[in-house]
Structure 1
Amino acid sequence: MFYHLLKYVLLGPLLRLFFRPRIEGRGNVPADGPAIVAGNHLSFSDHFLMPAILKRRITFLAKAEYFTGPGVKGRLTAFFFRSAGQIPVDRSGREAGQAAVREGLGVLARGELLGIYPEGTRSHDGRLYKGKVGVAVMALKAGVPVVPCAMIGTFEAQPPGRRLPRVRPVTIRFGKALDFSRFAGLEDEKAVLRAVTDEIMYAILTLSEQEYVDEYAAVVKERRAAETGAKERRFPRAPIG
């Protein structure tokens, strides 16, 4: 109930006002049955824009931090995401990744749409980063199609760190569904999982026309944070006054 209240009454109209989204290829999303929608991830707003413009309900795997924040703001954020049917995912460690796959397979087993960002985190600079293989595991185990999706303009509207989005148009582009039935039964083969994931990321890249980086976004973020910390230790800021 809360999902539909958000979509049609509270959040949906507001998002359309802010972003005036242009939708391309919406017919590529199956009208029924299980499927995965795999997209690039540029902005906090991505979580809400896609559900607002799709006719079908879509459930996203969302990072666990959205559900565990402290204080009143944290509780409200957790309530918001849970009420909207989003699933928390702990992104730390191998076991956490397996738990995310189990949750995603549960959504697909119910014949629903599952939304996932293969990069695993938001892009910090607007580029497209290497995809993690969890999307391939779910696609092969569930035997479902994967619809590539590109969010275009959301990074400029609400880049990481910006609380409120700028009022500007964005484009949401869906590509033709990818069929991986030729790999049935090979979901434990690392080379196959990498190949399937790379095919999905290439389809997203073709739609988004982003610059591609053949590294995981989380690794690049950690490296830059470490470099920034080292630089600040070497060249500390002078005290003011």
Structure 2
Amino acid sequence: MTLTTTQAIGFSLGALALGLLVVMIVNMARSRMNPLQCVLWVLAWLIAKLWWRAQLPGPVPLPENVGAILVVNHRSSVDPFFVQTATGRKVHWMVAREYCESAAFGWFLRAVEVIPVNRGGVDTQSTKAALRLTAAGGLVGMFPEGRINMTDEFMLPVRPGVAMIALKSKVPLLPCYIEGSPYGGTAWSPFLMRARVKVKYGDPIDITEYLGREHEEGVLEELTLRAVKALAELAGKPDFEPKLAGKKWKPTQEELDADVARLKEKQSRDEASGAP
């Protein structure tokens, strides 16, 4: 019996749907994701692989029941897509509270169980939430830069929150470098941009020598800079010297607008020169 073109297409689509269903079931069984999160994970995986042509490294180099703080560079609003789809485990991202309360995508952030964070000062509630999750073997994703980097610098100055939470919950830091994330100045812009993205994990950073020393002067900063240096190594920039953010690290709206303008100007130059 010879299949018609229509039948062959229908068979292929059915096989694809069945394959995606199997992936969802397996992922839900091993990742602590609920059904909605598994559906979102599959959609994110499809977008990352087909639209952004992402090269993903596979599961994190940690046992399933071991928690960790993922230390990630931040170039795009969709950076969590790449890490989440690569790990195959639920990652709880620390996200600025104003995004979680947004009418446009607050529902999505709540569905994937992010941890809302206040941008300024110490946020005790979010810190306690991160500690509970990592102590229970969960993964918490953090961007030490605190905002999207739209400059030509490899990374912006960083804050030591990643080290503080790792030490309090006694879990390792895992450097995770993302290369090529698309971003055009707005949260939605990456979905209109093609890209070639790569995700790389570093070795887990053992924090044993720092345990119990989180209140000592300079310890949090030292551990944070060590994690950022590991990111630079993954990026092939071993000479990069990371900097710590000062107390007035939060940018003004004028500074953010200027960053967006410079980013768009750079992208226009790249397009004109044919740069990837």
Instruction: Give the Å deviation of 1:212.
Output: 5.4
Partner Cα separation in structure 1 for residue 196 and residue 256 of structure 2: 35
Instruction: Give the Å deviation of 1:216.
Output: 3.0
TM (normalized to structure 2)?
A: 0.71
Cα distance change, pair 24–88 in 1 and its aligned pair in 2 (3 A): same
Partner Cα separation in structure 2 for residue 137 and residue 123 of structure 1: 22
Cα distance change, pair 91–221 in 1 and its aligned pair in 2 (3 A): closer
Partner Cα separation in structure 2 for residue 23 and residue 80 of structure 1: 23
The partner residue of 1:104 within 130, 137, 146 is 130
Cα distance change, pair 226–58 in 1 and its aligned pair in 2 (3 A): closer
Consecutive unaligned residues in structure 1, runs of 5 or more: 229-241
Cα distance change, pair 22–126 in 1 and its aligned pair in 2 (3 A): farther
**Alignment of 1:38 onto 2:71:** yes
Tell me: higher relative CO, structure 1 or 2? Use CA pairs within 8 A at least 6 residues apart: 1
Match of 1:143 in 2: 170
The partner residue of 1:28 within 54, 61, 74 is 61
Instruction: Give the Å deviation of 1:226.
Output: 9.6
- AA of the residue aligned to 2:68: A
Instruction: Give the Å deviation of 1:149.
Output: 0.7
The aligned length equals 218
Match of 1:160 in 2: 185
Report 1:75-224 matches (<5 A): 76-94=104-122, 96=123, 98-127=124-153, 128-154=155-181, 157-161=182-186, 163-165=188-190, 166-209=193-236, 214=243, 216=245, 219=249, 221-222=251-252
Q: Which deviations, in whole Å up to 9, do the C-alpha atoms of 1:68-97 show, x marking residues without a partner?
A: 22xxxx1x4111100011111111223x2x
Cα distance change, pair 25–177 in 1 and its aligned pair in 2 (3 A): farther
Q: Which deviations, in whole Å up to 9, do the C-alpha atoms of 1:45-82 show, x marking residues without a partner?
A: 1022211221211111111111222xxxx1x4111100
Match of 1:15 in 2: 48
Partner Cα separation in structure 2 for residue 192 and residue 25 of structure 1: 32
Partner Cα separation in structure 2 for residue 126 and residue 171 of structure 1: 19
Consecutive unaligned residues in structure 2, runs of 5 or more: 1-34, 259-276
- AA of the residue aligned to 1:83: A
Of all paired residues, the percent bearing the same amino acid is 25
Farther-moved stretch of structure 1 (210-219 vs 188-197): 210-219
Q: Secondary structure at the match of 1:80?
A: helix
- AA of the residue aligned to 1:161: T
Cα distance change, pair 112–227 in 1 and its aligned pair in 2 (3 A): closer
Instruction: Give the Å deviation of 1:161.
Output: 2.9
Q: Which deviations, in whole Å up to 9, do the C-alpha atoms of 1:90-128 show, x marking residues without a partner?
A: 11223x2x3332221111122111111111111121530
Partner Cα separation in structure 2 for residue 203 and residue 18 of structure 1: 29
Cα distance change, pair 145–59 in 1 and its aligned pair in 2 (3 A): same
CA contact (8 A) 1:44 1:160 kept: no
Match of 2:6 in 1: none
Cα distance change, pair 135–4 in 1 and its aligned pair in 2 (3 A): same
Instruction: Give the Å deviation of 1:220.
Output: 7.8
